Amino acid sequence: MTNDQTMLSLQAVNLVYRSRPALRQLDWELRAGQHWACVGPNGAGKTSLARVLSHQANHFSGDYLSAPALEQDGVAYVCFEQAQALCARDRKLDDSEYRADAADPGTRVRDAILGGREPDQRFHAWVSRLRLGHILDRGLRFISTGEMRKTLLVRALLSQPALLILDSPLDGLDRASQQAMQVAIDELLAGERSLLLLCRQLEDVPAGISHLLVLDEGRVLCSGEREAVLAREEVQALMRPTLPPLGALPAPTLRSYSVPEGPLLDLRNVSVAYGELQVLRGLDWRLERGQHCCVSGPNGCGKTTLLSLITGDNHKAYGQDITLFGRKRGSGESIWEIKQKYGQLDTQLQLNFARNMKVVEVVVSGFFDSVGLFDDWGDVQRRSAEQWLAALGLGAHVRDSFDTLSFGLQRMVLLARAMVKSPLILLLDEPTLGLDGAHRRLLLKAVDHIAANSDTQVIFVSHSAGDNPACINQQLRFEPDSDGFQVVCENL
C-alpha cells in the first residue's frame, strides 16, 4: 500500500450507546503512513470511535470502508477496558479454594502476551524495552495498572496490526515507565505502521503525530494537519475551558463514632510478604490530625498493599503494630467500623458502579458504602446529597442518569459520594486517571476546597508529577533500593 492510498474511511457514522448519541454524522479518512491523534474532553466520543474502528461496536449506521491491508492485518486497540475484562475473566475462573496451595495465579503475563505463540526475538526485545521480565510468570490480577498497560501493548505489537490504537498510553504509569513508553511510542511513530492515539489533553500529543482529529460530543469539530488544527481558536477553547465555581460545603453529617484525639493512622515497623515476594519492609507512618498525605512510588512498589492494610481489607495487618483511628488492629473491631471512617474514590469503583441510577442516588449510596442503593433512605440523605452536588458544581445534574454523564463528571459525582458521610479520611487512589485536563484541574480544586473547609483529611495516591492538590503537607514515597523499595515519610 502506498502512502497516498486510503487505509480507512468513515462516512456519516452514527453510534448510539445506552440510548445516548455517542457519534454523530462522523466523517473521517486515514491514509497509509499517517499518524493521528484523536483529542477531545471526556465524553467527546474518542472511545466510541476506537470501538467502531476495532469492530467492537457494530451497531452503527453509516459506512466503514477499509483497504485490503487493513482487512488482512486488522486493528489492535489497547485500552483500560481490556485489562478490566481479562481480570474479570480470571476472577470468574479462579479455583484457588480447590487447590492444595490455595492460590490460582490465573492468566500469566507471559501467556497473555504470547497467546499460544512461541517467544521470538521481537517478544524478548519488547519485554526488555518495557521492563516486563520480572513479572512474566505473575498473574494478571497481581500486577499494577502500569504493568498491565505495558503487557497489553506488547501483546498488540506482536500481532503486527495494520492500525494500532492506543488509549491514553501514559495514564497510570510512574515516571520511569512513562519515559520507557514514550520512547516506544516515538519508535512506532517513526515506522510504517499507522497509529491512532486517543488523548484527553493537547499536551499528551507526541511530536511525531502528523494529524489531529478533534471531537466534541460525538461530532467532528475539525481535523487535518497538526499545526493547522492547533492554531484554531475553537480547539483551544474546547480543550482549555474555564472551570466552574465551587459552592460552600454542607454542614458535617452527624457521625456515629467518636474522633480519636491522637493520630488517625499509626503504623510501626510493618512488613508484608507473599511467599518469597517481599512487598513492604519495616514501614513506619503516622498520619496526625491536620495532615494531608501524598503516597507515591513506581508501579508495583506496594502502594496498593499499604492501602489495603489501612482500610481493613488485608489480613496481613493482624499481628503487626498498626493502630487505625485510635484502635489497635485485631483488637475486635469489624472491617465496617474501619471503612465507615473512609470516603474512597478510584477508577475501578467508577467502572464497576451499578447502572441505571440517578446522580442523587449514586451520592446517597455513599451513606451505606454500597455499589448501588439497596437500603432505605429518605429526605435527610437526599438533602445532604443535593447539597454536596451543589458544592462541587453539579447541582444541575441531580436528576440526571449517572450513565449519561461524561467520564469526568461521573468522577466528580463519586467524589460527592465519598464525602457525603463526612469521613475522617478521603482516600483517593489515582483519582485523576482517565480525566481530561479540565476535569483534572476541577477535581484537584475540589479536593483543596474540601481540605480547607472541613475536618476530613486527604490521602492522595498518584504517579503523575504536578497532579497533586495544593493541600498536601506530607509525603510517603516508595524509593527503590537494593532489596526492593524503602518507604520514606516526610512532613512538608
Whether residue 246 lies inside any domain: the answer is no
Q: CB of 194 within 8 A of CB of 161?
A: no
Q: CB of 413 within 8 A of CB of 391?
A: no
The whole-number pLDDT of residue 353 equals 74
Alpha-carbon distance 467 to 438, whole Å? 12
Going by C-alpha positions, the residue among 89, 74, 151, 142 that lies closest to residue 115 is: 151
Tell whether 140 and 287 lie within a shared domain: no
- The pTM score is 0.81
How confident is the chain (492 residues) per 10-residue block, as mean pLDDT? 75 88 95 92 92 93 93 89 74 56 71 90 91 88 80 92 91 78 88 90 90 96 95 94 91 88 93 84 93 88 90 88 92 88 87 82 91 81 95 93 87 96 95 88 95 96 76 91 84 89
Tell whether 196 and 276 lie within a shared domain: no
The residue whose grid cell reads 492444595 is 100
Alpha-carbon distance 324 to 306, whole Å? 13
Q: What are phi and psi of 376, to 5 degrees?
A: -70, 140
Neighbour tally for 98: CB within 10 Å: 8
The whole-number pLDDT of residue 97 equals 45
Alpha-carbon distance 443 to 441, whole Å? 6
The residue whose grid cell reads 463526612 is 422
Whether residue 249 lies inside any domain: the answer is no
Whether residue 30 lies inside any domain: the answer is yes
Give the strand order in the sheet containing 20-31: 20-31, 6-17, 60-66
Domains contained in the chain, number: 2
**Between the CA of residue 449 and those of 105, 406, 429, 435, what are the distances in Å?**
42, 22, 18, 19
Q: Give the tens place of pLDDT for each residue, 413-461.
A: 999 999 999 999 999 998 988 888 899 999 999 999 999 999 999 999 9
The whole-number pLDDT of residue 205 equals 92
DSSP state of 317: G
Q: CB of 288 within 8 A of CB of 275?
A: no
**Between the CA of residue 283 and those of 269, 286, 317, 320, 329, what are the distances in Å?**
5, 10, 12, 11, 16
Q: What are phi and psi of 270, to 5 degrees?
A: -90, 130
The whole-number pLDDT of residue 223 equals 96
CATH number (domain holding residue 219): 3.40.50.300
Identify any residues that bridge with 427 across adjacent strands, giving them in sequence order. Answer: 344, 459
**Between the CA of residue 241 and those of 40, 172, 390, 412, what are the distances in Å?**
12, 24, 20, 17
Tell whether 234 and 297 lie within a shared domain: no
Signed CA dihedral, 50, 55, 60, 61: sign only: positive
Q: What are phi and psi of 284, to 5 degrees?
A: -120, 130
Q: Give the tens place of pLDDT for each residue, 276-312.
A: 778 888 999 999 999 999 998 887 788 889 999 999 8
Tell whether 232 and 277 lie within a shared domain: no
Alpha-carbon distance 196 to 119, whole Å? 27
Tell whether 201 and 316 lie within a shared domain: no
Tell whether 318 and 405 lie within a shared domain: yes
Structural domain boundaries enclosing 466:
265-491
Tell whether 149 and 26 lie within a shared domain: yes
